[in-house]
Structure 1
């Protein structure tokens, strides 16, 4: 009996050792993107990878290969390595099939078609009259301690003389000890989501961020992933991608029916989707479609690229309303197929790819995870939404909830690292003055340096142009430390070349804090560039220098008294209205002739109304005012100016209309395309100083190298100063910016291709005497390339001029400039 037992154990051992379970994953050789539902043939047994490209196979004979096939790829035979526990099979694209498309079978295509047709019957925003729920959201940056080796590595550091020095590297060990005790970063938010026929609004009920006494408004406004899965575009990391269940999505994606399953006792189809053309789109996913009403019951989305993004949406079926309502969403980000860092909250966090994950630094194991879960859901009850055009409202009371409030959301959590994270990061933030540094950075980003109760305007400190030479000055505005209701702005400057003093004084009164409405008066004695195009609502951004005025020599002096009001009273707009009286003196040879009257200096009395309208942007209402948190395009600007003849001694009567449309398209790949359409019209008589020169930026010199100066961002680089003037014009600029290209260590330029065109005419041209210029009826064209941030922010630009106003000498049509981009990291 004993011998039989031993013999049986021997045979069992042989069977166990003769057969083992092998786990693996099939991925694209070039992109490392998993290949879903690839066909695997091993030992005459057929199986398929799942939607993540993973598979499990029973290995009976290690000498036999695993054969993998998939449309668009070369077949691959993979032989097992001795002792391998996990295998990665990399498949190479078949170029002969690269342009071939995959197609959806008829049955699956019919299901997807019904999903699209039924969107209005399944989307909560369209079906329900009102709904309201609270939402708890937890975001953390962390790492799994078990995935990090605790050993101390040894490396050799080269020396100038002698043998290399042995160095101990304890980074992984210290990082593992850190993440065993706490997360790298975390933040929590509780918000109230309300929807009615007027729209959807979010009100922040409570929020806290590790290291901050008051959470950053910029974080509270982040829209990382769309709440609704039925819109034509989905928002992923604030970049729009085409929704697969849309009419356009059917043309871009191929759908594959996997099987049918049960969710809440309802039959649902499990359907996988991926791009029709290989590598043409990096969005893939798995949809669970209700077989009865064709609604989305669950969804997985994954984006592969600079970062790998996983988004999971769960829904709860409400029998009473016959609709799937959001139940939970989870969002994770890991490093993708790139060598760059992913920046979060102004810092730099390194993420690792989730595909292979071997031989990486400990910090590369970090990932970002966001979870949000609705509760206290109310359907079709009375919901009153104040100011529905404001997407997010942040009351002051939401910033200071006690610790006991947050314990209510920890009953389902066993995360022991959560509490130590707040304690340790709060202490670190206080010691390093991180909150103050961010406050200071925001001020500098807008061009100010706070000193006690006064914010110094950094633009007033130093300037240079051909008329004033070096211009030294100081100016700024009082801040909230002095008063929240009153402010006083002022500057004084002196030009070394013209030996002239310039100054401005602007007192202001706050009429309404919520709408940021200020009424102001000012008096200015200064010089200004002739023919410049400036919108009163144009936002300012800090520039370490303003490149265009450096080579400008044609200015006019103006003494201007102005009274104006600025407001954001109407949602999604910024408005300006002002009345001014100016005494203008051109500082160059110029006379305006009207009959027998010749004017070498003149007075202007004008009224001006300007509005900036951003209809697609989202706004946040805070205790300090209204903020644009989600900048969407296109944006529109309109400015109307009316000059009144004989009023307060005014010498001109004209109407002026300025209009601008800006549009930007950001791609998940990191590329960006931008357009600016701008036009100006003057009706009546206006002096040359107040017409249009279309922002030229080229010196009138005969050699290319002598014309090298600094490039502007929106100026015409090949157009000579004072070459063209118009009383009516239209211009279009187009720019496409590519991802940064790594040429060498720390040399990663940003390359853009740019084209510009402008048309213009001039009325009453014979009345402008003493100044020679041309007009642009036939159209002015230039195109070029910008290589920005080559080194320390400096780069080069190259443009060429062509078309009807191209110059006979080839070299005169070229422009070579130096560019400078200051990256503050915001």
Structure 2
């Protein structure tokens, strides 16, 4: 029998740093802590590697298992002289350790003459029938609702979270790199990772303490931040909140474990039986509880799966300990390895509650064994559980304004009293090292470059230049266009902000500009007033649902490559004043007034309309005053900061509902038309377990009253070669024009589920996508009658226009290619039956 525990594996040991070795020796030899490190590979007597073999220090509970290649690394703060290697079917091997560091060991196990009679052993693809491991797993499923906080009506607990980022694979090449000139002292803080055995350099640490309350009857949970402390990035809440959001809370008993926007099949779930092979490996006492050990590994390659083992109690059938490690061929980008370990403890001899959750991701540009990257580690500790303490439903209502500024300024006494795990010497050293590092010019240069890449802005004192990606553009009217702009920025929580830009077209030789400002008047209701003016060239009709954002991105000024002629551009002079507030969390109300002057930007395009009933007088410029009320609800949205502008943390993880009622008023500031306009938009991202990710959106709108072409709802075509959200790639601009419409956009990303079953494609880690789009609309005879533009005003009113598409993503990890097919209306002039689009981006 073996005892396979991990109580000490993830407490990062103290190493003797080169810079302090002499000082420590002089002060006291007692300060030097013993440490044992071992690493290598385990083979059988035929030369085949032995995956999932148990590796422990003799007379200890410090151990690990070999990976799928038979490799292992183990270290402990203790001083051990014997290593035990065991696996069912093989003789246990004792290896004397002649030194405290024994790496690159090559160990051979001999097959045992006999094995335990009571345990059935499986190798390779295991059977789903007559498998004792699966029999145990079924008992886990039957009892999963009787364990954890779900077993109680109400619950609360204290949660301590520690986030850490480290540069890994520290070697002489990196130390001598010119990029670290002026920062050489940081390598004195290098240490060795307990999971991989790599040398790493801690670069960032964030600690937080929360009190969590929940009610299973109300299906509500509330988290109260008690304290937060981090090294080096006190003002960069965007970074901290983004890192925290990467690792969603996961439950091993649910079918899927979600992180990095991917759904991994849980080996403890009912879905796991079709995804994993299970082997009953051992049984032993774990913390005085008799438990069974089950080893699991994937049935197929390239799927979102884990490998590892877990211990199950034989009375409550609850998981006592589990470790999960991604396989090396898993279809996820920029990640070499993810390792998770969870420990559970028993309450009242019946209910198991989680006490420790460790998560580590090894980020790297590629998955080569020696590639350098960054460790992201999260440790969660739980304590002070209380149950069935009912609170009113109003307690769980989330406030709109909750800066909790006092939580970021806690004393050292607070942290010493509330930490559920003391920092070791290495972690304490991060605070010292980062404080010194942020004062070096070399580090600040690197930080500035990273900030520009992430935000698109170059930071100066009190203002930012950018966005740099909009500096150059091209269109048929302006030719080559250059743009320079900036914004005020004193910090993430600025109560006011001003943005402005200037642009010049070398073909039309005209100067354009835009300026806007906004002020946060009340934090609690998020009362904001803002306004601005923009005079520029614009491609109208790139979206069915519109808002009056003064400095919204202009497709006309950013497109470089187009299909066919793109000369239907307009000159716009837009002035806006708006008042916005957030009465409920993630529910905003915006009341705005805007005045627009529209006219064609090129002689080939016309916005002409008849002014009189006799249709004898024509005007080519539209002057329009409009008042609008916009309601937006984004349930589940997470934001960072509490200034006039907040950063959205979980960008694609929440639904959006948008309702806009607009009133056009004639004769106000020489306005030309009376009309009413109603627009509705609903977008819903869907994570469909192991089948990938979908996104669905619905749009509908109607204009009441006769309006000219410039005020109609144009079905958004896409004449570029780049993917544009909620457009129709086989349509040209202005091919369909409506004053009432309804549209649907559906897209699904299989995340490689299909390609992973094709041998020749499996290794490329490609991802398959499908899409469908349709729109139905009409245009009134009154609007047609006043039109004098000369364009054929066609609406998809006989049948809904539709498209479908097929795409391949993750090409070279950054590119997506889609082919789009028109479904009908092939008789339209210059109708395109097919279109191609590409998209670039970094996705896990």
If the length of structure 1 is used for normalisation, what is the TM-score? 0.68
Is residue 695 from structure 1 mapped to residue 708 from structure 2 by the alignment? no
- Residue 381 of structure 2 is matched in structure 1 by 373
Give distance in 1, aligned partners of 2:748 and 2:352.
43
Go from structure 1 to structure 2 and tell me whether the alpha carbon gap of 1:99 and 1:780 turns closer, same or farther (over 3 Å shift): farther
In 1: Cα distance, 2:449 partner to 2:429 partner: 28
| CA distance, structure 1, for counterparts of residue 423 and residue 520 of structure 2 | 49
Equivalenced residues, count: 699
Distance 1:254 1:519, change over 3 A: same
Q: CA deviation at 1:679?
A: 2.4
Change (3 A) 1:524 1:625: closer
- Out of 240, 245, 261, the residue aligned to residue 219 of structure 1 is 240
* Matching residue of 2:777: 761
Offset of residue 419 of structure 1: 4.0
Distance 1:273 1:398, change over 3 A: same
| 1:604 to 2:614 alignment | no
Equivalent residue for 1:55, pick from 67, 87, 100: 87
Residue 185 in 1 paired to residue 203 in 2?
Answer: yes
Partner of 1:67: none
C-alpha contact 1:183 1:418 (8 A) present in aligned 2: no
Shift of 1:278: 6.9
Which residue of 453, 459, 462 corresponds with 2:462?
A: 453
Contact in 2 for aligned 1:505/1:523 (Cα 8 Å): yes
Say if 2:619 is the partner of 1:589: no
Q: Which runs of 5+ in 1 are unaligned?
A: 1-21, 38-48, 61-82, 90-96, 153-173, 335-341, 354-359, 699-708, 742-747
8 Å Cα contact 1:576-1:611 kept in structure 2: yes
Of residues 104, 116, 120 in structure 1, which corresponds to 2:145? 120
Partner of 1:428: 437
User: Following TM superposition, by how much is the alpha carbon of 1:632 offset from its aligned partner in structure 2, in angstroms?
Assistant: 4.8
Give distance in 1, aligned partners of 2:767 and 2:42: 43
Deviation at 1:556, TM superposition (A): 3.5
2:326 corresponds in structure 1 to 303
- How do 1:276-675 residues align onto structure 2 when only pairs under 5 Å count? 282-304=305-327, 305=330, 307-319=336-348, 322-333=350-361, 342-343=363-364, 360=370, 369-381=377-389, 389=398, 395-401=404-410, 415-432=424-441, 434=443, 438=447, 441-442=450-451, 445-458=454-467, 461-480=471-490, 484-498=494-508, 500-513=510-523, 516-533=526-543, 535-536=546-547, 546-547=558-559, 552-573=566-587, 575-586=589-600, 588-592=605-609, 595-596=613-614, 600=619, 601-620=621-640, 627-633=647-653, 635-646=655-666, 648=668, 649-663=671-685, 665=687, 673=693, 675=695
Q: Which residue of 2 aligns with 1:44?
A: none
Write the distance in 2 (CA, Å) between the matches of 1:544 and 1:218.
Answer: 32
**In structure 2, C-alpha distance between the alignment counterparts of 1:483 and 1:207, rounded to whole Å:** 17
Please say which of residues 303-312 and 796-805 is displaced more in the overlay: 796-805
- Residue 726 of structure 1, aligned match among 738, 741, 766: 738
Give the direction of change, closer, same or farther, for the CA distance of 1:133–1:267 in structure 2 (3 Å limit).
same
Instruction: Evaluate the alpha carbon distance shift between residue 673 and residue 525 of structure 1 in structure 2; reply closer, same or farther with a 3 A threshold.
Output: same
Q: Which runs of 5+ in 2 are unaligned?
A: 1-40, 55-64, 71-85, 93-104, 112-121, 175-185, 193-198, 757-763
Question: Could you tell me how far apart the structure 1 residues matched to 2:805 and 2:579 are?
Answer: 40
**Matched residues in 1 for 2:274 and 2:486: separation?**
55
Determine the C-alpha separation between the residues in 2 that align with 1:206 and 1:515.
25
CA, structure 1 residues 559+762, in 2 after alignment: closer, same or farther (shift >3 Å)? same
Find out whether 1:194 has 2:212 as its counterpart: yes
Q: Which residue of 2 aligns with 1:240?
A: 263
Distance 1:506 1:798 in 2: 37
Give CA deviations for 1:132-161 in whole Å, capped at 9, x if unaligned.
21415263637799xx9x999xxxxxxxxx
Change (3 A) 1:738 1:602: same
How much has 1:217 moved relative to structure 2?
A: 4.0
1:779 to 801, 816, 826: 801
Query: C-alpha distance in 1, partners of 2:579/2:618?
Result: 32
Aligned residues of 2:716 and 2:728 also touching (Cα < 8 A) = yes
1:166 aligns with none
Q: Distance in 2 between matches of 1:812 and 1:619?
A: 42
Match for residue 711 of structure 1? 722
**Structure 1 233/517 Cα, relative in aligned 2: closer, same or farther at 3 Å?**
farther
C-alpha distance in 2, partners of 1:563/1:654?
A: 19
Q: Distance in 1 between matches of 2:168 and 2:492?
A: 45
- Say which is worse superposed, 761-770 or 539-548, in terms of deviation: 539-548
Q: Aligned runs of 1:33-182 on 2, under 5 Å?
A: 34=51, 55=87, 85-86=107-108, 102-105=127-130, 111-125=136-150, 127-137=152-162, 139=164, 141=166, 178-179=190-191
Residue 439 of structure 1 and its aligned partner are, at CA, apart by: 6.5
Distance 1:488 1:289, change over 3 A: same
Please state whether the residue corresponding to 2:440 is helix, strand or coil.
helix
Residues 297-333 of structure 1, C-alpha deviations (whole Å, 9 max, x = no match): 332323213533332211222218x422221222344
Give how far 1:239 is off: 3.1
CA contact (8 A) 1:204 1:392 kept: no
SS of alignment partner, residue 530 of structure 1: coil
CA distance change for structure 1 residues 567 and 632 in 2, over 3 Å: closer, same or farther?
same
Cα separation, 2, equivalents of 1:33 and 1:689: 71
- Deviation at residue 474 of structure 1 after TM alignment: 4.1
After superposition, the Cα gap between the structure-2 partners of 1:57 and 1:799, relative to the gap in structure 1 and judged at 3 Å, is closer
Contact 2:804–2:821 (Cα < 8 Å) also in 1: yes
Q: CA deviation at 1:468?
A: 3.5
Please state whether the residue corresponding to 1:430 is helix, strand or coil. coil
> TM (normalized to structure 2)?
0.67
Shift of 1:189: 0.8
SS in 1 for 2:317: coil
- How far, CA to CA, are the matches of 1:195 and 1:391 in structure 2? 18
* Partner SS, residue 633 of structure 1: coil
Q: CA RMSD in A?
A: 5.4
